[in-house]
Structures are given as structure tokens and as C-alpha cells.
A and B are shown apart, each in its own frame.
Chain A
């Protein structure tokens, strides 16, 4: 995921920056240190390489543009050790379904040369889109302007721009969970896809379902597709004679066994990736709750929120959530994404649930202390532990690149969004460990890519079982998550001793919001909340391994 308040993909780099700033601040003694961004380095190198290659081969005829020259190839993005580790031959293209190949760039160039397209990017650090900027400008002849917006204010900023109709951005990064708030202001990208022969169905339904409108209209191209896995360090489990847990009960038992060992060796049985008050609590609890069949975020037949669950599976999930905090480093109750990841990558935990980026970054000796490339650590990636049933949870943190109706460069914006988020580039970004993950069936099912991003294997195998929350289909999603999260949190911090009561309070709060917004009166059935049901309703094939 790229956008929550805790900015996963920029998080690692921000962390380095901040670490550098602290050291710098202590040494230089002031603001100067804060401005030196040591964490920037990785990206600067990449950008430079790309630029060089592009300028070196810039003499291309406008009609027949050889896209290979402009496409960000593996050796222009990945580091040497990554190329070696993945066995990736830079001259060989891994995915042949790539969108970029189907577009007649010569025609694009003759139409758009000299024009300008703008993009609103999440984060002040816009080095990720910048990586693709020179290539796109070369291949299209257009110029691209990037506007970085701090993640904390991106949502408000975009909503303000959209409601005011300023037309400032031709394309913008949109956060999946709150996508419904953007819907009224965005175009359906399907007509453009048809024009250019872009096969949008290659995006896995798990990552497409919540930015699809009631009539199948698509909000934007998937930029960062997230799905949760269970990860563990097998070497630590082996040491305690434990098998990799497959159910939550086994997880808690393993935690109990690991706790004393970890206490001696300076690590903890579990790492909590988010738990902070508000929507983060709600999500974390939700990923566990979805493993209990009887819990639905809403009743399927109405909008009545049901967090407790018919068989109190929600209560059980919340109890597990709280228990996990006890096995996590102190203070994890308020963990945000970046802190959890630092703890994981610093080798402070034996087990965790997370997006794809944690395990991938665990393999990076520059980022991770537990990299198996450095030591004997073995990282295993598995489906979420079972409750009464099993779902791949939480695909709501996916990011889209949408095109506002107010844009005057909709087609060019579409071409940019396709160029930047093509199969090949998303595979590269995933294997490069950036935290930007591919959502294409053709990528995540490709065993060659698994070598560079081992988590994709598990994603491919579980994505068809994914389930989300119904609220992502209404614009009140954020308000609901925030309100419910605040109530649920009270059980975690002990101010509400009963898990059931906390969940009931959350139900009441959410009910109030739904009531105010009028959903309870409409009688409209909520949309389906599992990939299976969604595919059925939209007459699509649910891709299974």
C-alpha cells in the first residue's frame, strides 16, 4: 500500500531521512541536517541512469517509436545484486502482455508532442514517478509535471481541488479505501483503454473490485496493489521446535512458546503493523475478523453494521488483536505502519502479518537486519492464519491513478498512467522492493517474478479468496473506519473492558453515520464484499491458480 497516514512506500526512505536528519541535527546542530536527505540516494542513482540512457538514444523518428528504448528496463531500475538474485536478464522482457507494447507510441507522439500533462503524487518525495518521467517524455514527446503533496493532506487537498473544479491535475493518486469519495469527480477509463487496446482485465479482480462503479466503470489504473500475508522467520520457529502456524490459535500458542526465548535474545514473538487509534485499529482488527465466517462488516442483506458477528467471531478477533499486542514490542498498541516495519526489518519479531513489502524488504541487506542474504534467516510467506474460515484480507489499501473530469488532457493522462503502471514496470517496482506492488494477473502468477518478489506467490494463490469491507463502496468509508476504530481501540487500551461492548459501541457509531447519510432508509442492498461474489455479479472469471 502507498497511502495511509503512515506512508509505507516512502516510509522507509523517510525513515532514513529522518535518521540522517537526527544524526545530522545532533552533529551540525540544526536545520541544516534536516535538509540533507541521505535517504534520497537510492533514487537519485536510478533517475540518473534512466536519464542517461534516454538521452543517449534520443534520435527516434516520430512515427515508429521503439518503446524498448524508453521503457524503464530492469538494469535501469534494479541494483546489481537484485538482478543477480532474481536472475533477471535486462534484455529479456518478462511479461509479454505489457500494455506499453500494445500502444502505437508513434501516433501518440505525433498527436501530443509539446503538450503538457500534470500529476498529483502522494508524498513530497516524487522520486518514484520521476523514475518514469524521462522515458515517458521521450516516448510521447509530451512534457510531464509532477506535484508532490504530503500524504497527511493529500486526501483533503484532492477533494478540495475536485469539488472546486480547478482542473489543476490531469491525473492523481487515489487511495482505494476512500475511492468512493472520488467517484463523482473521475472519468471512466474504459473507453480510453479500448481505444489503445489496453487489457484492463489483467488487473486482478481483488484489486479492481472496489474502484469499479455500479455499472462497471473503472476509476483508474491500479498503481499499487496490496494484499496481506502471514510472514515468519522460520529459523526462530525451528529453534523452538514449532511448525509454521496456520490458525490463530496456533499463532497465539507459538507466541507463548517464543516469548521467553525472545526475551533472552532481544526479540518479540509478534510485530503489529498497525494498531493506532482510528481507522488503523479498525483495519487490523478487520483483517483478523474476516477469518471468522460469521462476521461481516455489514449484513449482506442490509446496511446494518455487524461487528460482533453472529457467532461472536468479531469478539474473538478483537481478543486476538489485543493478545497479539502483548506479544509485540511495548507500545505497539499505537503502532503505525512505518514503526512496525522498522521493528520487523530490525529483526525484532518472529511473526507478523503485513503487505507484500515487508517480506520483500526483508531480503534487502541494505534495509533489513534479517536479510537471508546476510545471515541464516529464513523468511516464510503464508496465507493469513485461519479462524473459523479463511480469507485473504484487506485489499483496501490499493492505490489508483485516476483522471478527473476537469482534466483537459484526459487521454494523455491516461497514457501516462498506463505507461507508469504497466505490467513490466510494476513487476520491476515490486522486485526492486519499493513497496509499490503489481496487481496484474500476468505478473503475480509469473514464477520468474516470484524470485524477485517472493510474496507474489502467496498473493497469487490467495487473492481469489480476498474479502473487503462493504463500506469501501460508499464515500463515508473513512468516517466509518475512523469512528469504529476509535471505539474498538477502547478495548485495546483498556478503557472498555469488554470486547463485545466495544464492538457494539462501534456498531452504534457506524449506524449513526449510515443513518445520517441515509443508507438505512434506501433499502438498496450493499454490494458484495468477497472477490468470489463480486466476480459472479460482474460476470467475470475469478482467476485461480
Chain B
């Protein structure tokens, strides 16, 4: 049972705010991702949880106990660093064994634990090597092994995959997720990559400039972002944002964008006529067709000028009425020169934000 409560944590470095009144509760046995761009304060938050940095303000509770002033070694949290932070003068075995030795375990206990964790991470053959003799992926596994080898209440992982190449990252995501389940561990995982969160996290906390913007189930945060910032940063490729204006006609309320017009009468209470908004639609909610088809969907013509195939999927960059649109289709799409297409989407996926406050209104 591990519940980590972060309460009103603030931290400044030389007058610059790194964390601004952050509060969230990390739940037991869940995979929680702290998501945010570079400099958002993710690492700082993890380091404060680990106890290697002191917050200026706020408290941290672990299982109901106030651990704000505890030394790192008394907190029973484990951490994996973005830079791996392996001890260069120790073998892989000694690296992994170090936390256990610090806890004064017997030799045989240590041996057993190290072997067990290295088997599950597939690094048994590496045990006698030194960190400089490891590839990036291997080093990362060792770093993860070193933290997972302990029975910590909470495991903190700071961008453990950022330094790895794309292929390995994909594989590691699967493994981490599996490990979280297998070990029934409470993981806090910091990452600037929305895919990490989307692929693995039960819950995600979106941060920007030291502020916690939104915290909730990953699905909820993704589909119903609180505001336009969360919508923009949390998702890849980034969401399409268009200017829009609400207009009333014949008792119906429409949203008009430079590309399309859609009926939003059912949101009448939340939208005011003749007011400007911003609307967003995620690239993978858009579909394309070379011919115009009649469906219960919003559609508009566009011209695809660039495609980018990722795996078996394609990201298409299109232009319509001088607006740039990104479309993510789940198949390989090859264009032959500029192509005129029709773009479709379900208006239910449309996110409407207040133009001034950026808050989501639908």
C-alpha cells in the first residue's frame, strides 16, 4: 500500500519558479506519468519526492506520514535517472547490489535479488561488465534494475527512455508497463513525450512552467483536456487549432471556422452567439478521402502537400484556405504530387476553448 500525497509544493531556483503550488495524490500500484515540456519542473518534483531537494513550501506525505523533512535514505523511494547515474567504477552487479548493501542485506540475499531482477530485465550476461562497456539500452536496464531491486514504496523514473533510440523505446515501454503490473509497483514516471504517457500511464499529470495544469486518468486528460495548453502539449502530433466564431441562425447555434461550419446547438448554454472561440481536433480524429462522400460528419476540402509515414501509419500535412492541418491516418498513405482530398471528422470530437481564458467549454 503506497499513497503519495504532494501538497502545495513550491520551489524557486535563484528567484526563478520551478514548481508553483503543485498538489497531487499518487495512487497505490498505479503507473503515473508526470508529463511536461522541457523545464516544466518534472525532475524538480521527482527530486523533491526523493528528498534530494528541499521544497520551499508544501508537504509530502507517504502513506499518511509527513516525510517532507526526511532524509532520502529514510523515505523508501527509488529513483531512475535520465542520465542513468550508474557508478562508473563498479560492475553492473555492484551497481545493482549497492542499494541492497546500503540496507545491510546478507550476501546471499543480495545475490538472489540481483539475479532475479537481472533475469527479468534480461541483463544476466552483463553483470560483470562496467558501465562504460554497456550500450545505452543496456545501461538503462541496469539503472532500472538498480532501482527496482529494492522494495521501495514508490519508484521514481525520470525520463528513463529519453536517451534511447526509437526502437528500443517502444520495446521498453511495453516492458515497463508489464513490470509495473508484475511487481505491482507504484511508479511515477516523468516524461516530455506524450506517447510515453499514452502508452503506459494509468494517470497523467500535465505540467507546464512549474504549474500542474491537469491531473487525472490518462484517457480523460487526453480526450477532455482542461484547457487549450493541455490539449496542445499532450498529444502527438499536436492537435489542430482553428479560430472559430459562434453564430445563431434559425434557432440553431453554429460554430464557423475558416474551414467548416458545424451545428453546436446542444452546447447552447455554454457558448454565446457572436463570440470568438478556438476549436481543436486531434489529428487522428480526422479522416481523408479522395472523393467526396456523404456521411454524418463534418467535411472540408484540403490539399495534402506532405506525408510522413511512421511505421504503418501516416501523418499528412494539408493546407486548406491557408490553414495548416495535420491528419494522422492508421494506414500507409502515399501521395503522388499535391493531392486534393476531403477531410472528415465526427463533430463529437471537436474541442471548443474560450479564446481568452483558453479553458475548454465543451
Task: Check A-B contact in the complex, CB < 8 A.
Answer: no
